[in-house]
Structures are given as C-alpha cells and as structure tokens.
Chains A and B, each alone.
Chain A
Amino acid sequence: MQVQTHVDINSEWGIVAARQAGRKLAREIGFGSVDQARITTAISELARNIYLYANQGQIKIEEVSAGGKQGMKIIASDEGPGIKDLRRVMEDGFTTSGGLGAGLPGVKRLMDDFSIESEVEQGTVITAVKWLR
C-alpha cells in the first residue's frame, strides 16, 4: 500500500510537523539513520522555503517503488511568487533572503532524484526522491 502524508505549511510549526512525518515514514520504509537525517533535512529545507517565500503551501510525502526499488518521494508545492531564474537558485551561495544559499542545491545533493517546476506568479512544485539502497 502506498503511504501518503500531507502537511500544510503555514507557520514554523508546519515545518516541524512535516519533518516529523517525514522521519517517521523514512524509518518505516527502512532507511538508515544517516538517510533519515538526509531526508528530514531535505524536508526541512523545502518546507522552510515554502514558509519563507510563499507563506503557505504543502508538503506531500509518499512511499514509491519502481524497478524493484523502494523509495520515498517528497513533493513540495506552493502557489507563491515562483522562481525567476531556475539556474541561479541551483547555484551554491545564491540567496534572495540573506541566508546561506545552500537550500535547494543542498536538497539536490541530499536526495537522489530532484526536479523543479516553477512559474513566476504561479507557484513552485519541487519533487525529490530518495531510493532505498
């Protein structure tokens, strides 16, 4: 059975809730402690981006399987301002909020698959998958 969890992000507590849901599912799927930390951190980054730039959105976490592999998929979606230059946000050190600018490129490195779709003034959907080894 596919396990799905939705967490609405509209305050900093939403970030914590998403993170906890993610850690729980990661543990259930059977990820080790390092991968659990990676997944939780990735969720934390994505959720924080939603809270910071779009004010609200949601994080969807689900179990996926393909080609005999099992994994965990994170979908972060919002209807916020969107991202103007997709290439630049994936550069290390690029930030518009005075942060470290390591969030999105960091998530890409933490996870196995990563894709981002964004339209200015429409919103952003980020999908990231971690496969169980």
Chain B
Amino acid sequence: MNLKVREEVLQYQDQIITSWLEQIEQYRNDDSLQNISGAVYDSTSQDFVHKLLVTLQQEDTGDADLNQFVERLIQMGWPLTFATRGLQEFRKASVKAISENSNDMKDGIFHYQEIESWVDNIINHLVDQYSGSWENTVFLQKMALKELSAPLIPVFENISVMPLVGTIDTERAKLIMENLLDGVIEHRSQVVLIDITGVPVVDTMVAHHIIQASEAVRLVGATCILVGIRPEIAQTIVNLGIDLGKFPTKSTLKKGIETALGMTKREIIDLEIQEG
C-alpha cells in the first residue's frame, strides 16, 4: 500500500476502530455465531481489528501474525463470513474516516483504490486459507471413510463376515467387490456373510452390486450368504421385483453363522448339555 495512505489510515485508527467495532456488533446475532459468547465475540473482534492494523504497518500482506489469527478462527469454528464481513467493514470504516478528514476528491478516490486493493488481497488470502483447511478436512474424512467402507472380518476358519453400514455408492461397491475377493483368497474362506443391517436403502443398484459381488465370490469357489435383511427392506425388495433367489439369505447374522458352520460341517454346541 502507498505510504501516504497507510499513514493516513494509522492516523485515524482510533476512529476506524470505534466505527468498525460498532459495525461488527450488528452481526453478533447471526445464526452461525449463536454458540459464541458475548465476551469471546468482543475480544476476538478487538483482536481482529488490531491484527489488521498491525498487518497494515507491514509491507507484506501474508503476515504471520494474521495467519496465526486466522488459523485460530478456523480451529475455533468461526464462520468465514465473520472474517470477510470484518474486512469489508474495515474497508468501509477506513474510507469513511479518511474522506471525513479530507476534502480533496481526487485524493479520496486514490485512497479508496489503495485500501480496496489491500483489503481484497487479504480477503483472497483468507478465503484461500479457509478453503485449504476445508479441503484438507474433506480429504482426511474421505480417507477415514474409505478405510471403514468395506471391512472383511475372518470370524471362524473358512468363514468371513463383511458388515456394511451406510450408503453404498458406485465407488464403495467397487471396494466391496475387491475386498470380498481379496479376502476370500487371503483367508481361504468358504463362506462369506454380507451383513446389510446398517444399509438404509436397498434399491436396484445396491441389489445389483450385491448380486454381482456374490456371483464373483461364487466364481472363486466360495458361497455368499446375505444376512440382516430388515422386514421393510424385504418388502421393498419384493416390490421392486428383484430376484434374490439365487443365493441364500438369512434374517440375522447369528443364523447366517450357524448356516455357514453347517456348510463347513461344524456346529456350535453347548458344553453343559454335552457333559450332562
């Protein structure tokens, strides 16, 4: 920013701070700021405007102090609108303060342009920082979700279970298929139980993917049992006219495991009864 403009802004900083704090006060009752207490709001606003003025005194807009402050805002969950509005209000306040104290029109426009470009720079910087942090969060959550999406658990020798929870989309369906086949080979499973208790909706696509997966499992020499079909899901499957007649289904995981043990010629027996 131009040196003269900077001095001008600094000269009227008290006036700017007062009018800025007045303006920013009106946003306090916004929905997104509901869970922030009055005291915290006041101190953060104070902090914000002082950080801005400190940054103003330095040439570099990518100032470490302001960066740290924004980082803190992000961590505490302050909305981006607070920061952008704050900067817009800062622009208004400083332009107002300067124009009130100077009569020269031409000078005023020059000041305005200088302040505008400075504020825009900081806003861009800030939005970058915010969206960077969001992208990072989304990426991490996606990775975490992927790890959870299709686990195959060997429960007995030759028997594995794949519990599915949540929505199944195409990407996840692909993972289910891969993990099933890899797991069947790796654990030498003869029977795989697919548990869909936690799948909220079974539409034709989900059914299609499950049918395909079980067909693939059959090709590598194992059997799939579909378990955990809730009554309402059973009705919608019938309504949709999906034919699941080709592979065995059981209502609960427990029954599925009993069947699987039977298929591998084993059973669970009660020790007491055997002794008695």
Contact = CB atoms under 8 A, between A and B. Distances in A.
B242 A100 contact: yes
Contacts of B240: 41, 45, 102-103, 106, 109-110
Interface string A31-58: 0011011101100110010000000000
Contacts of B239: 38, 41, 106, 109-110
B205 A48 contact: yes
A12 B170 contact: yes
A38 B205 contact: no
Given A40-B200, A100-B207, A110-B240, A34 B235 contact: yes
B276 interface: no
B169 interface: yes
A37 B205 contact: no
Contacts of A109: 239-241
Nearest to A47: B203
A123 interface: no
A75 to B, nearest CB: 18
Given A34-B232, A105-B241, A110-B240, A41 B203 contact: yes
Contacts of B207: 100, 102
Given A48-B204, A106-B242, A109-B240, 13 more contacts: A16-B167, A33-B232, A34-B232, A34-B236, A38-B232, A38-B235, A38-B239, A44-B203, A48-B203, A100-B204, A100-B208, A102-B204, A109-B239
18 contacts: A12-B169, A15-B169, A23-B200, A38-B232, A38-B235, A41-B202, A44-B201, A44-B205, A45-B204, A48-B205, A92-B241, A99-B208, A100-B207, A100-B208, A102-B241, A103-B204, A105-B241, A110-B239
Interface of A: 12, 15-16, 19, 23, 33-34, 36-38, 40-41, 44-45, 48, 92, 99-100, 102-103, 105-106, 109-110
* 6 closest cross-chain pairs (CB), A and B: A106-B240, A37-B232, A44-B203, A34-B232, A12-B169, A41-B236
